[in-house]
């Protein structure tokens, strides 16, 4: 009996031990050295897994990774202006609708394909014509793309467009033969470009690695290897940094920024180009009454929202077409409760405040604050939190009335981006349809240069925001990155792009 | 016998069909995925083109039969955000969730069973009260909170273990501990209850009268009979843990199915959500069948 008992115990113990060993074995199978820090490796933790590394279909979440491997045709500086130090080294507006660009000579993709004008035409055509192209709508004015010789690219537009060069900052050079052979899925699994880093591989759901490109045409990157991983929870990202498991973490909300500072970590907070704006549907009640729309605009105090909710981790913004961070238009609407009440004339006007629940930092609090300020002047507010996808669909379908809060995120830092998206009669929001504004928008984009266009855009902004009150601009999001003390040289620009080439891990 | 098997297979198929149909309906109710794919600046025409390319312009019934046909041929579709076959992505993530669930369950059994037995054999003592209090605590503490606290203590303050993500056995410790707490409490409470009942049975008195040792009575005679409900709950809890892994995987950035499901939901990647639901339903149904099989093996009355 004793033996039997011992056998039974041994069997149970052996089963548990075997299960334990199996789990440990499985876990050990995935172990690697990239988890430990070294001066050769930069460990970056993002807020979300990059969905695809195909720049044609890719959402912005992947840009931080593919930006190191694939390069845009035109580089931009920190002020978001095009520069001539990228793959395109010069350009000329040959006539109103024709642009001629010079490409850097002798650049090749890491697989040996030439990164020439033919490759640029291939990338442009994909962006314009692919149904899944995320930038398709910005290239509807493109008539043709031609490559008369390997270093010359000619773009013809249907109508004059002064800011075409800026748009080339969003077109990424991809190797035509490789892309055609692999397709979007294959390219995303192993992207090839001309950039300072080479894609080294990815482990499903865990991380992606890039290594220094020894044959990069420009200055070689200082760090040998970058490992990108991700964690959706901000506290977890900060914990990874604090515990030494990461060197750089992205997207820290205000609370975690404060914690990071207290923990003596470096926090880079950059005012982004992403604006949060209240849109008034002025072709429907209640905002088809100009006095009611003006009262709503006068009711809102954006400074109070920013200081009360974001503790400085956002920047109050009074304009719609001031695309670059730090810019403010001359004419803005500022809070005037007495005037707002007077315009309401004692009426109690019902208004729905719609917002994308959970989509942006503190958006619930912002919607409540805007609603509270509207109620203070006589509006009766009903809140309508919906998911982001439904909001986009309902905005596009013209199904909403009242006020909806939405982010304006420019892929390209030019006013026409927001004019086409939000101001024109045929825009996405269609909340401010006005033939006069349409004509001004046409005139602006056909202007000979940026300076001539700016004056017209200022006037469009004044009419749409200050005179007609179609928009209540609220604030710009501030993006925060925290780094370990021994990391330096990371450059982060306001449209969510990062330059890792100068980064050192000390 | 054959009739019983056929009935069981039919029940499994109907259960799966219901789960698959609910997954399909929820996917379609969640709205238009083109908004997430193309972003807010795309025109209605572009969205319509993409809907056509994805087959979303087809009548719902046709989409449903296409979807069913795909499942029966092993094709769970492609992800809208990752542009990869859903099945490949699921199979990539399953080992990580299995590690987590397996390790969590192992800890739950290793601690929960002795704790329950201890409480049952010392009913009314402070051991019993302490074990019961621990079990109550285990079932009350939110996983999310516990996870963050463990990270703060073991990773940030003391630097003993990694704060999250995967890669080594050390990475597994904190997520598995977090994962184990709820099933551990459940197992301990159930073990205590069933052992208490069994220990009152006449055959236990008879065993004592024959002079068998306390250990032999408890583990060989009592626990063997008390283990059936415990075993049932362990297997069923393993199924529940597969869904409960979402919170733990989120807190620890663990690259399992739960993380994938969360990302799919956030992006409205309904083909991927559907595929995960179908996969989960199949797993759960199979685990139920496993419970029945184990019952039959352990308890001859069930055969």
Q: Read off the CATH number of the domain in which B185 is found.
A: 1.10.3720.10
The residue with greater pLDDT, B70 or A278, is A278
Pick the CATH number of A3-191+484-505 from 3.50.50.60, 1.10.8.870, 3.40.50.280, 3.90.76.10: 3.90.76.10
Average pLDDT, chain B: 85
- Residues in chain B, overall count: 303
Residue B77 domain-assigned (yes or no): no
Query: Quick check: B251 contacting A, CB < 8 Å?
Result: yes
How high is the pLDDT of residue A484?
Answer: 93
Report how far residue A358's alpha carbon sits from residue B223's, in angstroms, rounded to the nearest whole number: 49
The residue with greater pLDDT, A103 or B138, is A103
Average confidence (pLDDT) over B127-132: 87
Query: Quick check: A401 contacting B, CB < 8 Å?
Result: no
Report how far residue B285's alpha carbon sits from residue B11's, in angstroms, rounded to the nearest whole number: 10
- Residue A134: closest CA among chain B residues belongs to which residue? B38
Residue B82 domain-assigned (yes or no): no
B267:A9 CB<8 A: no
Q: What are phi and psi of A143, to 5 degrees?
A: -90, -50
Q: For residue A239, give the nearest of B39, B155, B166 by CB distance.
A: B155
Report how far residue B8's alpha carbon sits from residue A200's, in angstroms, rounded to the nearest whole number: 49
How high is the pLDDT of residue A20?
Answer: 55
Q: Which residues of A touch B164 (CB under 8 A)?
A: 231, 236, 239-240, 245
- A103 neighbors A89 (Cβ within 8 angstroms): yes
Residue B96 domain-assigned (yes or no): yes
Q: H helices of A231-288, where?
A: 234-242, 254-262
Query: Quick check: B257 contacting A, CB < 8 Å?
Result: no
Pick the last residue of a domain from B72, B102, B122: B72
Residue B78 domain-assigned (yes or no): no
How high is the pLDDT of residue A304?
Answer: 94
Same-domain check for residues B187 and B223: yes
Query: Quick check: A28 contacting B, CB < 8 Å?
Result: yes
Domain count along chain B = 2
**DSSP secondary structure code for residue A162 in this structure:** T
Q: What is the pLDDT of residues A185-234, one digit of tens each?
A: 889 889 999 999 999 999 888 899 999 999 999 999 999 999 999 998 89
How high is the pLDDT of residue A2?
Answer: 42
* Residue B173: band (very low, low, confident or very high) from pLDDT cuts 50, 70, 90: very high
Using alpha carbons, select from A288, A292, A289, A275 the residue that is nearest to residue A421. A275
How high is the pLDDT of residue A143?
Answer: 95
Cα B153 to its chain centre, rounded Å, is 27
Report how far residue A103's alpha carbon sits from residue B133's, in angstroms, rounded to the nearest whole number: 73
Provide ipTM, 2 decimals: 0.78
Q: What are phi and psi of A210, to 5 degrees?
A: -125, 150
Q: For residue B102, give the nearest of A19, A137, A409 by CB distance.
A: A19
Pick the CATH number of A272-478 from 2.30.30.190, 3.40.50.300, 3.10.105.10, 3.40.1010.10: 3.10.105.10
Same-domain check for residues B133 and B8: no
Within 10 angstroms of residue A416's Cβ, the number of other Cβ atoms is: 25
Domain boundaries, chain A: 3-191+484-505, 272-478
Strand locations in B14-131, DSSP E?
none
Same-domain check for residues B29 and B122: no
Average confidence (pLDDT) over B11-22: 87
The whole-model pTM stands at 0.82
Q: What is the pLDDT of residues B39-52, one digit of tens each?
A: 767 777 777 888 88
A52:B81 CB<8 A: yes
What six digits make up the tokens of B135? 């079990």
Same-domain check for residues B37 and B175: no
Residues of chain A with pLDDT under 50: 1-6, 8-9, 28-35
Q: What are phi and psi of B190, to 5 degrees?
A: -70, -40
Substitution target in B39, B41, B151 with the highest count of A β-carbons within 10 Å is B41
- B245 neighbors B258 (Cβ within 8 angstroms): yes
What is the domain range of residue B129?
Answer: 87-298
Report how far residue B162's alpha carbon sits from residue A245's, in angstroms, rounded to the nearest whole number: 7
Q: Same fold for the domain at A3-191+484-505 and the one at A272-478?
A: no
- A374 neighbors A300 (Cβ within 8 angstroms): yes
Phi/psi-derived region of residue B85, left when phi > 0, alpha when psi is between -120 and 50, beta in every other case: beta
Query: Quick check: A147 contacting B, CB < 8 Å?
Result: no
B165:A231 CB<8 A: yes
Q: For residue B172, give the nearest of A27, A244, A392 by CB distance.
A: A27
How high is the pLDDT of residue A61?
Answer: 64
Q: What is the pLDDT of residues A92-125, one digit of tens each?
A: 999 999 999 999 999 999 999 999 999 999 999 9
Substitution target in B156, B167, B187, B265 with the highest count of A β-carbons within 10 Å is B167
Percentage of residues in chain B having pLDDT higher than 90:
18
Q: What is the pLDDT of residues B228-237, one digit of tens each?
A: 778 877 877 7
Q: Which residues of A touch B171 (CB under 8 A)?
A: 27, 35
A236:B155 CB<8 A: no
What six digits make up the tokens of B240? 């529940």
How high is the pLDDT of residue A17?
Answer: 55
How high is the pLDDT of residue A5?
Answer: 46
Residue B137 domain-assigned (yes or no): yes
B152:A239 CB<8 A: yes
**Looking at the predicted structure, is the pLDDT value of residue B200 above 90?**
no
Same-domain check for residues B68 and B185: no
Residue B250 domain-assigned (yes or no): yes
How high is the pLDDT of residue B288?
Answer: 80
Report how far residue A395's alpha carbon sits from residue A407's, in angstroms, rounded to the nearest whole number: 12
A131:B260 CB<8 A: no
């Amino acid at each position: 009996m004793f033996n039997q008992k011992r056998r039974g115990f041994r069997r149970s113990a052996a089963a548990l031990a075997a299960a334990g060993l199996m789990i440990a074995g499985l876990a050990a199978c995935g172990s690697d050295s990239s988890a430990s820090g070294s001066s050769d490796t930069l460990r970056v933790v993002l807020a979300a897994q990059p969905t695809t590394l195909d720049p044609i279909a890719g959402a912005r979440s992947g840009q931080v990774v593919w930006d190191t491997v694939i390069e845009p045709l035109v580089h931009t500086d920190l002020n978001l202006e095009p520069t001539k130090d990228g793959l395109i080294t010069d350009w000329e507006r040959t006539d109103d609708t024709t642009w001629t660009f010079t490409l850097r000579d002798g650049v090749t993709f890491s697989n040996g394909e030439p990164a020439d004008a033919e490759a640029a035409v291939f990338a442009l055509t994909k962006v314009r014509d692919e149904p899944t192209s995320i930038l398709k709508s910005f290239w509807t004015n493109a008539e043709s793309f031609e490559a008369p010789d390997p270093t010359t690219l000619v773009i013809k537009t249907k109508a004059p467009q002064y800011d075409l060069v800026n748009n080339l900052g969003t077109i990424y050079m991809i190797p035509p033969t490789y892309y055609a052979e692999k397709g979007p899925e294959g390219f995303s699994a192993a992207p090839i470009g001309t950039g300072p880093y080479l894609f080294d591989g990815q482990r499903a759901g865990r991380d992606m690695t890039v290594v220094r490109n020894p044959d990069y045409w420009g200055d070689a990157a200082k760090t040998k290897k970058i490992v990108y991983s991700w964690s959706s929870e901000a506290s977890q990202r900060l914990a990874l940094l604090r515990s030494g498991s990461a060197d750089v973490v992205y997207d820290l909300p205000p609370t975690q920024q404060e914690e990071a500072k207290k923990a003596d970590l470096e926090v880079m907070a950059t005012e982004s180009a992403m604006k949060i704006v209240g849109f008034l549907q002025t072709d429907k009640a209640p905002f088809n009454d100009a006095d009611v729309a003006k009262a709503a605009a006068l009711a809102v105090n954006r400074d109070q929202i920013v200081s009360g909710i974001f503790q400085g981790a956002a920047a109050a913004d009074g304009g719609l077409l001031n695309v670059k961070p730090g810019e403010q238009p001359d004419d803005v609407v500022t809070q005037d409760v007495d005037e707002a009440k007077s315009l309401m004339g004692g009426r109690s006007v019902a208004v729905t405040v719609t917002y994308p629940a959970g989509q942006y930092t503190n958006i619930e609090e912002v919607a409540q604050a805007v609603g509270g300020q509207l109620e203070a002047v006589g509006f009766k507010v009903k809140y309508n939190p919906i998911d982001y996808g439904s909001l986009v669909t309902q905005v596009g379908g013209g199904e909403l009335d009242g006020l909806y809060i939405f982010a304006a995120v420019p892929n390209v830092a030019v006013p026409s981006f927001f004019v086409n998206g939000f101001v024109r009669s045929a825009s996405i929001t269609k909340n401010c349809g006005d033939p006069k504004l349409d004509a001004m928008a046409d005139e602006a984009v056909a202007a000979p240069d940026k300076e001539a266009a700016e004056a017209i855009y200022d006037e469009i902004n004044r009419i749409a925001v200050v005179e007609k009150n179609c928009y209540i601009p609220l604030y710009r999001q501030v993006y925060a990155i925290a780094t370990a003390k021994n990391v330096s040289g990371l450059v982060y620009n306001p449209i969510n792009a990062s330059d890792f080439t100068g980064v050192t891990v000390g | 016998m054959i009739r019983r098997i056929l009935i069981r297979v039919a029940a499994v198929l109907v259960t799966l069909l219901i789960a698959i149909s609910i997954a399909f309906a929820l996917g379609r109710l969640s709205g238009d995925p083109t908004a997430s794919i193309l972003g807010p600046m795309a025109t209605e025409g572009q969205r319509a083109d993409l809907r056509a390319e994805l087959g979303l312009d087809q009548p719902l019934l046709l989409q449903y039969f296409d979807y069913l046909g795909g499942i029966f041929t092993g094709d769970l579709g492609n992800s809208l955000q990752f542009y990869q076959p859903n099945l490949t992505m699921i199979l990539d993530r399953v080992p990580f969730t299995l590690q987590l669930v397996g390790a969590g369950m192992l800890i739950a059994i290793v601690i929960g069973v002795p704790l329950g037995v201890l409480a049952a054999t010392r009913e009314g003592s402070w051991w019993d009260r302490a074990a019961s209090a621990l079990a109550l605590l285990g079932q009350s503490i939110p996983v999310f909170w516990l996870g963050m606290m463990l990270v703060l203590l073991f990773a940030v303050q003391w630097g003993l273990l990694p704060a999250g993500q995967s890669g080594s056995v050390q990475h597994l410790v904190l997520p598995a501990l977090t994962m184990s707490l709820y099933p551990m409490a459940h197992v301990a409470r159930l073990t205590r209850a069933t052992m208490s009942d069994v220990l009152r049975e006449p055959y236990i008195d008879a065993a004592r009268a024959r002079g068998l040792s306390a250990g032999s009575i408890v583990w060989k005679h009592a626990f063997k009979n008390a283990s059936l409900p415990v075993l049932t709950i362990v297997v069923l809890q393993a199924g529940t843990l597969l869904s409960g892994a979402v919170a733990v995987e989120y807190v620890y950035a663990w690259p399992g199915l739960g993380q994938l499901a969360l990302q799919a939901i956030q992006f409205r990647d309904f083909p991927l959500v559907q595929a995960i639901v179908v996969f989960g339903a199949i797993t759960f149904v199979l685990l139920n069948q496993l419970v029945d099989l184990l019952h039959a093996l352990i308890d001859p009355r069930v055969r």
